[in-house]
Amino acid sequence: MPTANHFTSIEQMEADTARLRETACEVCAETYEDRVKAQTPHCKFGEDGICCKNCSMGPCRITAKAPRGICGADAHAIAARNYVRSIAAGTSSHSDHAREILHVLKSTKPEGPYVVRDEQKLIGLATEWGVATVNRDIYDIAHDVADVGLLEFGKPDGIQLFTNRATQERQDLWKSEGIQPRAIDREVVTAMHMTHMGNSADAEALIRQGLRMSLANGWGGSMIGTEITDILFGTPTVHTTEGNLGVLEHDMVNIVVHGHDPAFSEMVVTAAEDRELQEYARSKGAKGVNIVGLCCTANEVAMRHGVRMAGNFLQQENVILTGACEMMCVDIQCIFPALPALAQCFHTKFVTSSPIARIPGAIHVEFHPDTAFEQAKTLVRDAIDNYQNRDQSKLFIPETKQVATVGYPTEQIIKHLDNITNSHVDELGSYRPAIDAIKAGVLRGAVAIVGCNNPRVRPDYSHFEIMKELLANDVLVVASGCSAQMATKAGLLNKDAKYICGAGLRRVCELLDIPPILHMGACVDISRMLLLATGIAKDWGVGMTEIPVVGCAPEWMSEKAVSIANYVVSSGLDVYLGIEPQVKGSTQMMELITEGTKKITGAGFIINQDPHQLVKNMLDGIEAKRALLGI
Ligand code: BF8
Ligand code: SF4
């Protein structure tokens, strides 16, 4: 029987990193660990969220001696304004990503390079959005759907169309609480307006706008991004792949795709499959071209092509430090500005592709939908030409890697559930089998573990500990983003991970033939998790706050994560955080994000930096919900 020895320990991952840092030392390069040291201790005012520079009378910092800024704003106003600005940045990031994808949908044509891959999903969405489908060319439908999607950003009236998908109870609550999300851009602009000098100083009013804006992300931008990406590149299906630095190859041209927008990476992946280019690689002495992913781009291409994953957020420098990376192609978000300088210590070509993420020292190749495939082919050829420039004296590829089964969007989960309900045709397409397992106590509940890794704590450790403990306690885990990649690196997405589960969860994994942690995609795909929880609540016939399902972000760091955590809370699910939001300097804000939102949405944050305590909090929360349901 496989044991914990089959997993890759945090110590092993740390040993790999330590070895790669020796290379960094040899080439006189710094890494994030050096910069953490240089930045420690962090500014206390920033940590507590009580520094304001929203006007040039400041910056103002709140102390016992100076409890108000020059305009009179107190700690609560300042912390709330800073917090809402984080949600605005996070909402903008996911949503602007979605807007780009909609423009790609608008560029689709039968001859490519971008085509419609999931026609069924397109027709479904067109029908949902009132776009005519009968006797129409699929591309005319696609372009009209893109136009409706683009209007979600700036329409003068109405609320986000996807809010219709929520439970009736949520829709009613959002309306009665005045937090129904209007046009995405409007919610962000309103938030920036509210936080301008001389506007809102009321923390609760600001929090309410934060909730409303976050809903424009979860049930707007992110959900649009996910749906349109599926239409363009196919709804993900189950793939077996591998993850961690060991997926880099000694004898192949290694190209790393990093970022979030699959419009770019899809083209690079497709170009690398080109027979001529593979042949060209062989003519240069390599065995072929090896594409691997980093961060959320890795999740996207793993779920659709089985492309292997080199790692998560804090691994991005390690990939270059192997000395085996011929090219790193990045698009948007979570890309260290440190990378071009690091790449210059090696032969690695570092390529940016989006006007949204320009970094000094990078080779900038701006991607355009019409020429995307040709541009991708040129990049792959450049990477092949670069293979001969590898410096063998700097080469070290850790062997560590694990097999992972990925690709569980809601459609795939339903398919697995359908497989065991063959005898009950009336139950096909529902979450009833999963609900029955929860009711019977075979499963205690489910936790969505999401988000980044973060040097404020021991990187990846909290994810690992929390996942293992939840599995042992018969709690099914769904994961996305860098959390899913942590599970990949550890070996927890391997079907054999069932052996560390409690007896109930193990039985469910065997019956459904799934790993105990279901990989649901990138962070933008947390919208899939919203639909999963909504589907469970609807099929159960209860409200979102009642189901024993919660969210957890043990090591979050980005503003996107702040927006996500808020839309999950707005959707009625408690969120367990391992990193404190930067509002500690305001007692009112601490109360608002933990207890205050409960009065508005029925859910809030539970914060605990100790992963074992956080698991205990989660299990208590899940059991309390079960008790209220009488199960
Ligand atoms: O959007 S989990 S470090 S890669 S922010 Fe970034 Fe965090 Fe990773 Fe994807 Ni999400
Ligand atoms: Fe200071 Fe008020 Fe200006 Fe902020 S808005 S910097 S608290 S004067």
CA angle 243-248-250, nearest 5°? 150
Tell me the CA–centroid distance for residue 553 and ligand 1, in Å. 11
Strand locations in 473-589, DSSP E? 475-480, 517-521, 549-553, 575-577
- In angstroms, what is the span from residue 488 Cα to ligand 1's centroid? 15
Residue with CA at minimum distance from ligand 2 atom 6: 58
Query: What's the pLDDT at 6?
Result: 83
- In the structure encoding, which two tokens stand for residue 361, read together? 């020292």
Average pLDDT, the chain: 96
Instruction: Find tokens 């945090």 and name the residue.
Output: 10
Mutate to test the pocket of ligand 1, among 226, 313, 527, 579 (most ligand atoms within 8 A of CB): 313
Spatial neighbors of 63 by CB under 8 A, at least 6 apart, are none
The encoded tokens of residue 591 equal 């109360």
610 CA from centroid of ligand 1 (Å) = 21
* pLDDT bracket for residue 588 (50, 70, 90): very high
pLDDT at 137 (0 to 100): 98
Answer whether residue 472 shows pLDDT above 60.
Answer: yes
**Where does ligand 1 bind, in terms of residues with CB under 6 Å?**
260, 295-296, 312-313, 334, 451-452, 481-482, 522-523, 558, 560-561
Query: What percent of the chain lies above the pLDDT cut of 90?
Result: 97
Beta-bridged to residue 405, according to DSSP, are 240
Nearest to 546 by CA among 426, 630, 607, 617: 630
pLDDT at 280: 98
Instruction: Specify whether domain 402-628 bears CATH 3.40.50.2030.
Output: yes
| Ligand 2 atom at shortest distance from the alpha carbon of 68 | 7
Q: Which atom of ligand 2 is nearest to the CA of 70?
A: 8
- Of 359, 308, 299, the closest CA to residue 332 belongs to 359
From residue 98, alpha-carbon distances to 216, 222, 228 in Å are: 12, 7, 8
Dist. CA 85 → ligand 1 center (Å): 18
Q: Which contacts qualify for 49-53: CB closer than 8 Å, 24 or more apart?
A: 49/78, 49/79, 49/82, 49/83, 49/581, 49/582, 49/583, 49/584, 49/585, 49/586, 49/589, 50/75, 50/78, 50/79, 50/585, 50/586, 51/78, 51/82, 52/78, 52/81, 52/82
| Shared fold status for 245-394 and 402-628 | yes
Smallest CA separation from ligand 1 atom 1, residue:
523
Across 19-29, average pLDDT? 97
| Residue 425: pLDDT over 80 | no
What distance in angstroms lies between residue 224's CA and the mean position of ligand 1's atoms? 18
- Which amino acid residue places its CA nearest to atom 6 of ligand 1? 334
| Ligand 1 centroid, distance to 452 Cα (angstroms) | 5
Ligand 2 mean position to 609 CA, how many Å? Answer: 31
Instruction: Say how many CA atoms lie within 13 Å of 526 toward its Cβ.
Output: 37
Which of left, alpha, beta for 455 (phi over 0: left; psi -120 to 50: alpha)? alpha
| Separation between Cα atoms, residue 24 and residue 33, nearest integer Å | 11
φ and ψ of 302, to 5 deg: -70, -40
Query: Rounded to whole angstroms, how far apart are CA atoms 114 and 102?
Result: 12
Measuring from each residue's beta carbon to the nearest atom of ligand 2, which residues come in under 6 Å?
52-55, 57-60, 69-71, 73, 78, 197
Q: How far is CA 106 from CA 109, 136, 145, 226, in A?
A: 9, 16, 9, 16
* CA 619 – CA 379 distance, rounded (Å): 49
Query: Mind giving me the DSSP string for 254-297?
Result: EEEEESS-HHHHHHHHHHHT-HHHHHHHHHTT-S-EEEEEEHHH
Q: Classify 478 as helix, strand or coil.
A: strand
Mutate to test the pocket of ligand 2, among 45, 50, 55 (most ligand atoms within 8 A of CB): 55
Q: Which protein residue has the closest C-alpha to ligand 2 atom 7? A: 69
CA of 482 to the centre of ligand 1 (A): 6
Say whether pTM exceeds 0.95: yes
Between the CA of residue 500 and those of 10, 241, 434, 443, 620, what are the distances in Å? Answer: 17, 21, 20, 14, 21
Distance 74 CA to ligand 2 centre (A): 10
Closest-lying ligand 2 atom to the alpha carbon of residue 58 = 6
Query: Domain map of the chain by residue range?
Result: 75-233, 245-394, 402-628
**Ligand closest to the CA atom of residue 298:** 1
Protein residue closest via CA to atom 10 of ligand 1: 523
pLDDT at 4: 56
Tell which residue, 242, 243, 373, 394, has the closest CA to residue 325. 394
**CA–CA distances in Å: residue 121 to residues 117, 186, 627:** 9, 28, 38
Domain spanning 245-394 has what CATH number? 3.40.50.2030
Q: pLDDT confidence of 424, banded at 50, 70, 90?
A: low
CA separation for the pair 288, 387 (Å, rounded)? 11
Q: Convert the pLDDT of each residue in 254-297 to its tens digit.
A: 999 999 999 999 999 999 999 999 999 999 999 999 999 999 99
> According to the CATH classification, is domain 75-233 in 1.20.1270.30?
yes
**545-560 b/e with 16+ CB inside 10 Å = b?**
bbbbbbbbbbbbbbbb
Give the number of the ligand closest to the Cα of residue 53. 2
461 has a pLDDT exceeding 60: yes
Q: Whose CA is nearest to atom 9 of ligand 1?
A: 296
- The pLDDT of residue 428: 79
Question: Residue 60's beta-bridge partner residues?
Answer: 52
Asked if the model's pLDDT at residue 433 lies above 60, the reply is: yes
157-212 pLDDT tens trace: 999 999 999 999 999 999 999 999 999 999 999 999 999 999 999 999 999 999 99
pLDDT (0 to 100) of residue 426: 64
Shortest-distance Cα residue to atom 3 of ligand 2: 55
Distance in angstroms between the alpha carbons of the first and the last residue of the chain: 32
Q: What are the tens digits of pLDDT across the range 486-533?
A: 999 999 999 999 999 999 999 999 999 999 999 999 999 999 999 999
